[in-house]
Chains A and B, each alone.
Chain A
């Protein structure tokens, strides 16, 4: 027969066992969660390192497979993940979340300064739809394409094409082939292009359609050039269209890949870099002219170059915020002049 003491032993044993089991289970669960978070964090650290490596070396790479699923979103400069937000500053990054990313360093080269930025993108299909005056819209395609990634050396490809003639379109080239072989042919061909009729087909296939037209057309993403360098981008939303002014192809690429958030962030990074570059170049020219005794021939040209840089410096505060068309036009003109003048200096051996 079981004594009272035996019953007590059983009850005490059960209580202690349940308690121990509970403590162990709780600890094991949180330990597993910590382990999983640690794994996810180390994947994100690797992604950050890959992006930084590409930024500093210029050698493209891939970020493959399931790991890319951990990216929930990108609100510049933060990559949102289930563990934490990964701050990518100071690397200017165009990131489009998706399976398998190609990481590519692109640049806006002014000759006397380069603005480096990273494009991390999954497989992407971009179809340009130039309408109306093609002498304006076709060169603009080349100007936009050079700010998008060249994926010849990576697995996730970004391909370009042009359309549409009814339901017909021409597509499937990477940047180099598209700009070097296809675009020159298109510029001489007498194309008759219209808005794509089968929009749903393109939406299902994940195409990004870029409509280029001097009038606003019924499309999701419309680029309206005012002249060679500046114009407006219209992005369709619930209320109609959001309007953004572009001053270069970089603005259009930012809007196409990341909308307003990326456009604002890119402008902030670009202008802070440009401000520093202008200051350094002005000071550098001053030092060389006073201390290194630049000859008369170079001196005049260097002074002209510094004059252009000073004009850019004065325009930066105006153009940084919401700019008007005249300021934007003037800015684009000075940027172009600065590159031309620098090339001239370089060819004279004065740069």
Chain B
């Protein structure tokens, strides 16, 4: 009688061990699924992040090209663009350009010949034009451009730099 009872208890114990095995197995399977889900979500998030960076680069690149071809700062008869006119560069302001291209950027044009910042008073003996204050981290592109000197008809070589601020958060 005692032997039969101890056999039953042993059988019950074995059943509990099996049950524990199943619960543990289920737990690990669930854990793996959760980990895979987290991994894929994280991967997707990083893809979205890199897409956002691409969009920022594309915006900065567009701004740069829009400036090089802008009818507001280019020589009128020069259809191909990249021929910025010094008198127009001296006349246009950050506010004007923000009305046309929105906010969140800065731009600089610098001639290799003259380094003085241009104002209404020192035109045409100057060679640097800055639009909108440079502040914070920005994605910046730079391109060589021609600067047409309206008073002499000469053409200088210079650089146009356009930076688009990276949005935080």
How many angstroms from the CA of A58 to the CA of B15 in the assembled complex?
79
How many angstroms from the CA of A13 to the CA of B151 in the assembled complex?
88
Contact A24 B33 (CB under 8 A): yes
How many angstroms from the CA of A31 to the CA of B40 in the assembled complex?
9
Contact A284 B29 (CB under 8 A): no
Taking CB atoms, residues of chain A closer than 8 Å to B79 are: 58
Q: How far is the CB of A35 from chain B (nearest CB, A)?
A: 9
Contact B72 A16 (CB under 8 A): no
Judged by a CB distance under 8 angstroms, whether B71 is at the interface is yes
Judged by a CB distance under 8 angstroms, whether B90 is at the interface is yes
Nearest B residue to A35 by beta-carbon distance?
A: B44
Produce 1/0 per residue, B38-79, CB < 8 A to A. Answer: 001000100100010001001000100110110110001001
Q: How far is the CB of B81 from chain A (nearest CB, A)?
A: 8
Taking CB atoms, residues of chain B closer than 8 Å to A45 are: 55, 58
Judged by a CB distance under 8 angstroms, whether B114 is at the interface is no
Judged by a CB distance under 8 angstroms, whether B9 is at the interface is no
Please give the number of chain B residues whose Cβ is less than 8 angstroms from any Cβ of chain A in the complex: 41
What range describes how many residues of A lie at the interface?
Answer: 35 or more
A-contacting 9-mer, from B96-104, B128-136, B155-163: B96-104
Among B81, B87, B121: residue with most chain A CB under 10 A: B87
Judged by a CB distance under 8 angstroms, whether A114 is at the interface is yes
Contact of B123 among A5, A57, A112, A291 (CB under 8 A): A291
Chain B, range 81-108, C-beta contacts under 8 Å to A? 81, 87-88, 90-92, 96, 99-102
Contact B62 A56 (CB under 8 A): yes
Chain A facing B: main interface SS: helix
Taking CB atoms, residues of chain A closer than 8 Å to B91 are: 279-281, 283-284, 287
Produce 1/0 per residue, A259-290, CB < 8 A to B. Answer: 00000000000001101110111011001100
Produce 1/0 per residue, A99-121, CB < 8 A to B. Answer: 00000000000011111100000
Judged by a CB distance under 8 angstroms, whether B8 is at the interface is no
Among A23, A52, A115: residue with most chain B CB under 10 A: A52
Taking CB atoms, residues of chain A closer than 8 Å to B68 are: 56
With A276-B72, A291-B123 known to touch, is A284 a contact of B15 (CB < 8 Å)? no
Give the 8 A-B CB pairs with smallest separation, nearest first. Answer: A283-B91, A56-B65, A284-B91, A114-B71, A292-B151, A276-B96, A291-B123, A280-B91
Q: List 8 A-B contacts (CB under 8 A).
A: A20-B30, A31-B40, A58-B79, A90-B100, A90-B101, A280-B92, A283-B91, A284-B88
Additional 9 contacts, C-beta under 8 A, given A24-B33, A280-B96, A287-B120: A8-B19, A23-B37, A57-B69, A90-B102, A281-B91, A284-B91, A287-B123, A291-B121, A291-B123
Q: Please list the residues of chain A having a beta carbon within 8 angstroms of any beta carbon in chain B.
A: 5, 8-9, 12-13, 16, 20, 23-24, 27, 31, 34, 38, 41, 45, 49, 52, 55-58, 89-90, 111-116, 272-273, 275-277, 279-281, 283-284, 287-288, 291-292, 351
